[in-house]
A and B are shown apart, each in its own frame.
Chain A
């Protein structure tokens, strides 16, 4: 989770001190906007902070004075580091979201779940079969799925998590692979599952089984590897490497372009 600022004196590099930024570039592309307009209260792990109304949970936590160690990764909704759960006033519901993608709401009552214990099977993907036997062998607990759909409700990516778990359970590896493709492995599903299943690890196992054993291999790729091994391109490459800049510029300008 985040650490309140002030602890890391030694490693702090004060950028702004040493590099004056030209005024106009600031106007072009300032990374830090001065907060404008309304402030609203949010409760971060029970503690109230007043923060600018239009920002994401992640930026609000930082604005409140925290410097993340855990719970922050790509800041673009794809790495799964910042899974967050929250409640809103007047509702019993547990909501989920990624801190970097979810805009705050007044009186949001939240915490991040930056880590949740999960079991991961070890396997040699070359040796495993793309069928139900592998799934049951690696993750037998999948059979405990009670189809409650809590995992689906907990998915910040809006994936049909239960459907891919069920597909895997039925041995439909292709469907499980495709339905789980956009999984970012944040772990919120596993944190909420009453059957103690680790859905996202089943998802990646299915995707790897499907891609490795069910999709056809690219023939043109193995042909190309053979050509490279046989030295088919060595002569062209040598020639290219020997060209001076002028010659290269000419070849570059004259090269033909495959139609879009």
Chain B
């Protein structure tokens, strides 16, 4: 429960609520920022612009590019294995398509490759399905309604990404989007629908049409468990858990030809030979960029990024991190956890210590986050938690008044439960929030066929960069993993029919290690990280 001091402050929120509700019902909203205003707030307050938080990469395809220090640390690091110590002729798995990562993108890829007749191996460092997909709450965008179009979706996404998105990738994303929803509907996904089958859709930050499709506030979990169930139905797909890929294998022609796995429990190393390989390892939240808490799952340590970079893949926009505007800061046990944007889509406002609005609730995420940071640190209108965190109120009880009693329990059951565990009923009391590290906007360069710059190596999902430009809109990542997961699956399976891998080699890792040594980089560190280390600490 809230402390007496916080309960006292909540009275101020309650005092201004009736007036705010009245205005909202009349369609009067806190004004949106103009594009210029938004840009200014970003430059002054967004963590991406903080001095000293980045440095230039010292080697590899993106040498000289600025990236967060935490990303530079894992890229300027040695392979965790001694490339000379492994017998690459002793092959443990010989497959058509290797999928690294068993989240949404990996499973969508595996299913699609399997349908094409490929023999597929999926490897993952945690359990099948443990991923950021599982945690996505709000929904998945697609221009499925008559008043909407893929071109509108394209424009909204471009604007959200500050016009830095790759046009070809974005075309693929938005044109394939309705097909992605149909793919999920066809699998038997419990989408929110009206009686007549019409899909229920809502706004998300930065959307000009209501195109957010959902499954309660468990959209990602529903997608993940359904994909997982279907993968388990397919005899052509084998899944190996707790066995991350720790280095890619190239062949003597410099094409990707598989990977080295490490069984985390026996510590045994395994050799996979694959005609084509897909990296679907997700993002970097658990690197805790600039020390921020994160919404991400335990395994989000950007392993695939490291493997791809060492193998010679270029990266894009690695300097752009997404901070989700509404991360929990109270109770302390839940710090960093996500409160879906759908809560604001349903009419909830952000208010400061005086119970006053200070920002339009559905600005693009980076602008919204920056405005919250400004409110707390420049204008000093934040609310302090007992552990010294600063944040603002997310006035969830508004939903019950605007949409009818019981709406929160019906539409946000998971969030309601999460807070009830700490005796906070969010249908009656507001939540305390502050931006939290949410998404890796940039990543491995791909083309619309999901191909990386290394032959026979594909990538899909959060590990890639370019689709979302410098800032992703809500609902475009669940879409991204399905669209590009399926594209990677389809194209890798087709390619696998023509490929005969040559002699397996770790020469690229050896060269990378030498280069580090020559340049005096890395300080003896190794990567990928695989799992964060919270032993002996309170994470």
Task: Give chain A nearest CB distance to B9 CB in angstroms.
Answer: 20
Cβ-neighbour of A218 out of B193, B287, B377, B535 (below 8 A): B193
B4 within 8 A of A: no
Within 8 A of B (CB), among A95-135: 101-103, 120, 122-125
B529 within 8 A of A: yes
A5 within 8 A of B: yes
Contact between A258 and B292 (Cβ–Cβ < 8 Å)?
no
Within 8 A of B (CB), among A14-48: 14-15, 17-22, 25-36
6 A-B pairs in the complex with CB atoms less than 8 angstroms apart: A29-B291, A69-B264, A125-B187, A181-B216, A240-B151, A252-B35
Contact between B179 and A225 (Cβ–Cβ < 8 Å)?
yes
Contact between A33 and B535 (Cβ–Cβ < 8 Å)?
no
Task: Give chain B nearest CB distance to A16 CB in angstroms.
Answer: 10
Q: What separation, in Å, do the CA atoms of A102 and B421 have in the docked complex?
A: 8
A171 within 8 A of B: no
**Which of A26, A157, A204, A256: most chain B CB closer than 10 A?**
A204
Task: Give chain B nearest CB distance to A172 CB in angstroms.
Answer: 16
Contacting residues, chain A, for B182 (C-beta < 8 A): 221-222, 225
Q: Which of A75-83, A140-148, A162-170, A190-198 contacts B (4 or more CB under 8 A)?
A: A75-83
Q: What separation, in Å, do the CA atoms of A31 and B539 have in the docked complex?
A: 6
B404 within 8 A of A: no
Contact A259-B27, Cβ < 8 Å, known A10-B80, A78-B134, A237-B151: yes
Q: What separation, in Å, do the CA atoms of A108 and B171 have in the docked complex?
A: 54
Cβ-neighbour of B181 out of A101, A209, A221, A233 (below 8 A): A221
Q: What separation, in Å, do the CA atoms of A90 and B526 have in the docked complex?
A: 49
Contact between A13 and B525 (Cβ–Cβ < 8 Å)?
yes
Contacting residues, chain A, for B171 (C-beta < 8 A): 237, 241
Contact between B50 and A25 (Cβ–Cβ < 8 Å)?
yes
> How many inter-chain contacts with C-beta < 8 Å in the A-B complex?
312
Within 8 A of B (CB), among A209-233: 209-213, 215-225, 228, 233
Nearest opposing residue in chain A for B235, CB measure: A122
Within 8 A of A (CB), among B244-285: 246, 264-265
Contact between B229 and A204 (Cβ–Cβ < 8 Å)?
yes
Contact between A12 and B533 (Cβ–Cβ < 8 Å)?
yes
Nearest opposing residue in chain A for B265, CB measure: A69
Contacting residues, chain B, for A259 (C-beta < 8 A): 27
**Which of A12, A19, A120, A207: most chain B CB closer than 10 A?**
A19
A87 within 8 A of B: no
Nearest opposing residue in chain B for A56, CB measure: B333
Q: What separation, in Å, do the CA atoms of A212 and B537 have in the docked complex?
A: 46
Contacting residues, chain B, for A69 (C-beta < 8 A): 242, 264-265, 531
B290 within 8 A of A: yes
Q: What separation, in Å, do the CA atoms of A204 and B230 have in the docked complex?
A: 11
Tally of chain B residues near chain A (CB < 8 A):
127
Contact between A52 and B527 (Cβ–Cβ < 8 Å)?
no
Known: A35-B538, A210-B190; 5 extra A-B contacts, CB below 8 A, are: A62-B536, A65-B536, A78-B221, A208-B189, A212-B186
Contacting residues, chain A, for B531 (C-beta < 8 A): 67-69
Contact between B190 and A185 (Cβ–Cβ < 8 Å)?
no
Contact A18-B73, Cβ < 8 Å, known A184-B221, A241-B167, A249-B35: yes
Contact between A17 and B27 (Cβ–Cβ < 8 Å)?
no
Contact A18-B525, Cβ < 8 Å, known A25-B50, A77-B418, A124-B233: yes
Contact between A81 and B130 (Cβ–Cβ < 8 Å)?
yes
A48-84 CB contact bits vs B (8 Å, 1 = yes)? 0000101110010011011111101111111101000
B481-513 CB contact bits vs A (8 Å, 1 = yes)? 000000000000000000000000000000000
A151 within 8 A of B: no
Q: What separation, in Å, do the CA atoms of A162 and B416 have in the docked complex?
A: 22
Task: Give chain A nearest CB distance to B159 CB in angstroms.
Answer: 4
A137 within 8 A of B: no
Q: What separation, in Å, do the CA atoms of A102 and B338 have in the docked complex?
A: 18
Contacting residues, chain A, for B387 (C-beta < 8 A): 33, 36
B530 within 8 A of A: yes
Contact A74-B291, Cβ < 8 Å, known A15-B70, A221-B185, A224-B178: no
Contact between A245 and B163 (Cβ–Cβ < 8 Å)?
yes
User: What are the nearest 7 A-B pairs in CB distance?
Assistant: A216-B197, A212-B188, A208-B188, A19-B69, A5-B535, A252-B159, A236-B151
Contact A204-B333, Cβ < 8 Å, known A15-B73, A79-B135, A81-B127: no
Q: Which of B12-20, B140-148, B313-321, B393-401 contacts A (4 or more CB under 8 A)?
A: B140-148
Contact between A13 and B73 (Cβ–Cβ < 8 Å)?
yes
